[in-house]
């Protein structure tokens, strides 16, 4: 029961923190740190799906070495593809499972077990959350549900933050165009403000 209370508290704290952040990078880092700490595992990473390359691009990770994070491109078609199509996938032994794309690198990193959870927003796959353990780990339904919950919250928050960024950028462009138009419309001509009753001859004599 203590573990459940810790996870619920973590879920609440992360949700509160995310609700105050409009930075996608900050949201991603906060989520992986929280999962790693709450489950007391080796590490956690968040990937975003690139539809053009069919690759999972690392957004952020916590608890993993730079060497492992830069091991190479992660293919959405080869690296635990089942988890992106059907839902969470738990792998007990990374060295004895053909779905692992980089088993040697995982062993060198000291990873024994792995949990992969898809991140879906608006019915579209946007990425994946992965949890790594140093010891063989049989992920419980509670573990999976906890990671899924944070993954979906993070996914929705990241998508909204991206939207807000894009919207702000569009608004800034429109404001700039509007300001230029206003300046053009308010630009004074050499004779602007001169009463129409004053003839051009009188203007020349005044000069």
pLDDT tens figures, 42-96: 999 999 988 889 889 999 999 999 999 999 989 887 778 777 878 899 999 999 9
HSE-CB at 61 with a 13 A cutoff on CA atoms is 20
Question: What's the rounded Cα separation, in Å, for the pair 138 and 204?
Answer: 95
Residue predicted with more confidence, 124 or 191: 124
pLDDT given for residue 198 in this prediction: 47
Q: Say yes or no to pLDDT of 172 above 80.
A: no
pLDDT given for residue 118 in this prediction: 93
- Residues of the chain with pLDDT > 70: what percent? 74
Are 132 and 105 in contact, with CB atoms under 8 Å apart? no
Residue predicted with more confidence, 3 or 77: 77
pLDDT given for residue 81 in this prediction: 76
Query: Considering the domain 2-162 in this protein, what is its CATH number?
Result: 3.30.450.40
Are 132 and 62 in contact, with CB atoms under 8 Å apart? no
What angle, rounded to 10 degrees, do the helices at 24-39 and 141-186 form? 170
Domain ranges for the chain: 2-162
Are 60 and 28 in contact, with CB atoms under 8 Å apart? yes
For tokens 């078609």, name the residue: 77
End-to-end Cα, the chain, rounded Å: 93
pLDDT given for residue 51 in this prediction: 87
What angle, rounded to 10 degrees, do the helices at 141-186 and 2-19 form? 10
Tell me how many helices (H) and strands (E) the chain has. Answer: 7, 6
What is the enclosing helix (H) or strand (E) of 2? helix 2-19
Structure tokens, 201: 């001859």
Q: Using 50, 70 and 90 to split pLDDT, how confident is the model at 171?
A: low
Q: Say yes or no to pLDDT of 176 above 70.
A: no
Share the mean pLDDT of the chain. 80
Q: For residue 165, give Cα distances in angstroms to 50, 125, 159, 160.
A: 19, 20, 10, 9
């Amino acid at each position: 029961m203590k573990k459940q209370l810790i996870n619920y508290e973590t879920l609440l704290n992360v949700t509160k923190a995310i609700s105050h952040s409009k930075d996608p990078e900050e949201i991603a880092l906060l989520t992986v740190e929280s999962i790693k700490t709450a489950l007391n595992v080796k590490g956690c990473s968040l990937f975003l799906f690139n539809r053009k390359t069919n690759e999972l691009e690392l957004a952020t990770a916590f608890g993993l070495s730079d060497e492992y994070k830069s091991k190479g491109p992660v293919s959405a078609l080869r690296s635990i593809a089942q988890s992106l199509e059907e839902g969470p996938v738990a792998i007990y032994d990374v060295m004895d499972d053909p779905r692992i794309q980089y088993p040697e690198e995982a062993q060198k990193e000291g990873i024994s077990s792995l949990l992969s959870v898809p991140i879906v927003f608006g019915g579209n796959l946007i990425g994946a959350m992965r949890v790594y353990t140093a010891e063989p780990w049989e992920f419980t339904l509670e573990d999976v549900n906890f990671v899924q919950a944070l993954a979906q919250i993070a996914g929705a928050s990241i998508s909204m933050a991206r939207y807000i960024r894009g919207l702000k950028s569009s608004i800034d462009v429109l404001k700039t165009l509007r300001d230029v138009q206003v300046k053009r419309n308010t630009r004074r001509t050499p004779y602007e403000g001169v009463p129409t009753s004053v003839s051009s001859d009188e203007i020349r004599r005044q000069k």
